[in-house]
Amino acid sequence: MARASTMPDPNIIVWFQNRFVRLAEANVNILTHALHYGTGVFEGIRGYYEDKQRELFLVRALDHYERWKQNCGILRIHVPASPSELCDITADLCRKNGFHSDVYARPIAYKSSERIGVHADDNDAHAIIVLPFGHYFSEKRGLKAGVVSWRRVEDNAIPGRAKICGAYVNSVLATDEAHRNGHDEAIFLTESGHVAEGATCNLFMVRNHKLITPPVTDNILEGITRATVMELAGKELHLEVVERSIDRSELYGCDEVFFTGTAAEVAPIVEIDHRPVGKGEIGPITDKIDRLYADATHGRMPGYKEWLWPVYGSAIIEKTA
């Protein structure tokens, strides 16, 4: 199953070097420190367009920008704007580009010195790009995943809890191996042999009527979509949500498995290592969570309106039957 791809329009407006410019003008020098040494931190923020309200909702944008600024601190990268100001800039980008569709925002901050030398300095820069964006995976009939030989990077090497640019070589290697082995997506194990997450997604397992996910101490990204799903599952479906280490063999005997992520959303898994998950089809709990997530992020559940940052100023609507 191929990932959906978007060829960006070079004329869209982006935020670069503290001003609005065309994407075609937002370029960096080939000696930029982050290009050579991976010294950048990025985020991903979804925006969903709700036709009935003619509104574009940025999902948990404030939480994403708070995490971004916190994670930038790991590399001592300073982003001067507050999370609220960054949300306003992102909404302004959507308006300037006239987006009335689903979008994906990519903030990135990086070490911008133009020189050779691994030592970092305080020459920081940041940018925000917003693009029209559909599903990360080209279809949602269920993924075929495979455990790869590459291990999830350890926190004491490069913190997996932060979206550090250089750490994503780990994900690139895992994804390439998974695809060459006939899978749609990779599953990482930790060095201790426990399940960590997908190449770019958190992982959930349904077993014995419980929703189980690896703890943040198993070198996973502290996912905002992960936290969203945990809250929805507990409040709306009254499921017991458990954070604990997962053995690889548990994946072969569980009822359901799915990935979560800002780009991936809720992505069902129907096969792992060429073995069917459960009945080999999308499970009922996964399906319910997927629907709940879509309703909450499209402004159809007023109880979760605090998660949404309206671009055009509409109110949250009641869910219709």
pLDDT digits (tens, 9 = 90+) for 277-319: 999 999 999 999 999 999 999 999 999 999 999 999 865 655 5
CA dist 101 and 191 (Å) reads 41
Q: pLDDT tens digit string along 164-200? A: 999 999 999 999 999 999 999 999 999 999 999 999 9
Q: Which of 286, 320, 318, 293 is nearest to 303 (CA)?
A: 318
By the 8 A CB rule, do 203 and 219 touch? no
By the 8 A CB rule, do 47 and 263 touch? no
Q: Which of 137, 206, 141, 213 is nearest to 175 (CA)?
A: 137
Q: Which of 163, 23, 27, 28 is nearest to 93 (CA)?
A: 23
Going from the C-alpha of 230 to that of each of 203, 223, 274, 287, 305, the distances in angstroms are: 11, 11, 28, 14, 17
pLDDT band at 5 (very low <50, low <70, confident <90, very high): low
CATH 3.30.470.10 residue ranges in the chain?
Answer: 13-132
pLDDT band at 3 (very low <50, low <70, confident <90, very high): low
The CATH number of the structural domain formed by 143-297 is: 3.20.10.10
- Report the pLDDT value the prediction gives residue 316, as an integer from 0 to 100: 61
Q: pLDDT tens digit string along 107-166? A: 999 999 999 999 989 999 999 999 999 888 765 689 999 999 999 999 999 998 899 999
Q: What is the mean pLDDT of the chain?
A: 94
- Report the pLDDT value the prediction gives residue 8, as an integer from 0 to 100: 87
Contacts of 71 (CB under 8 A, 6+ apart): 41, 159, 161, 162, 163, 164
- Report the pLDDT value the prediction gives residue 153, as an integer from 0 to 100: 94
In the chain the first and final C-alpha atoms are separated, in Å, by: 32
Q: Is the pLDDT of residue 320 over 50?
A: no
Q: Which of 321, 286, 293 is nearest to 308 (CA)?
A: 293
By the 8 A CB rule, do 309 and 290 touch? no
Q: Which helix (H) or strand (E) is 267 found in, with range? A: strand 265-272
CATH 3.20.10.10 residue ranges in the chain?
Answer: 143-297
- Report the pLDDT value the prediction gives residue 136, as an integer from 0 to 100: 84
Q: Which of 84, 87, 148, 78 is nearest to 120 (CA)?
A: 78
pLDDT band at 7 (very low <50, low <70, confident <90, very high): confident
- Report the pLDDT value the prediction gives residue 318, as an integer from 0 to 100: 54
Going from the C-alpha of 64 to that of each of 223, 276, 307, the distances in angstroms are: 9, 34, 11
Q: Which helix (H) or strand (E) is 241 found in, with range? A: strand 240-243
Residues with a catalytic annotation lie at 163
Q: pLDDT tens digit string along 76-93? A: 999 999 999 999 999 999
Q: Is the pLDDT of residue 321 over 90?
A: no
Q: Is the pLDDT of residue 271 over 50?
A: yes
For 39-62, what is the mean pLDDT? Answer: 96
* Annotation: CATH topology of 13-132: D-amino Acid Aminotransferase; Chain A, domain 1 (3.30.470)
- Report the pLDDT value the prediction gives residue 137, as an integer from 0 to 100: 79
Model-level pTM? 0.93
Antiparallel, parallel or unpaired: β 19-22 and 13-16: antiparallel
- Report the pLDDT value the prediction gives residue 1, as an integer from 0 to 100: 46
CA dist 123 and 134 (Å) reads 35
Q: Which of 145, 45, 166 is nearest to 103 (CA)?
A: 45
